[in-house]
């Protein structure tokens, strides 16, 4: 195997695992906040979910772009 391919793949996997970990923690707290009983409607849990999904999507697009540039 080409050493450059192994190096780029290792970086993408390491950064990808970091993204998954951060996203999982953010989603855990977002879903946990849905379980609290409140009298008024609060959109904070929904916005947290939206922000976490957007964060994960943007970072995955950056990784995809980086993998094409590294060729």
**Number of domains observed in the structure of the chain:** 1
The per-residue pLDDT for 37 is 60
The per-residue pLDDT for 38 is 58
The per-residue pLDDT for 68 is 75
Q: Does residue 68 contact residue 53 with C-beta atoms inside 8 Å?
A: no
Domain around 13: 3-69
| CB proximity list for 34: less than 8 A, separation 6 or greater | 45
For each successive 10 residues of the chain (71 residues), what is the average pLDDT? 79 82 79 63 73 82 75 57
Q: Does residue 60 contact residue 27 with C-beta atoms inside 8 Å?
A: no
The per-residue pLDDT for 41 is 61
């Amino acid at each position: 195997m080409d050493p450059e391919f192994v190096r780029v793949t290792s970086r993408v996997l390491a950064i990808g695992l970091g993204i998954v970990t951060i996203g999982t923690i953010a989603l855990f707290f977002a879903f946990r906040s849905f379980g609290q009983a409140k009298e008024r409607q609060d959109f904070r849990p929904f916005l947290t979910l939206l922000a976490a999904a957007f964060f994960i999507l943007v970072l995955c697009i950056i990784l995809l772009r980086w993998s094409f540039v590294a060729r």
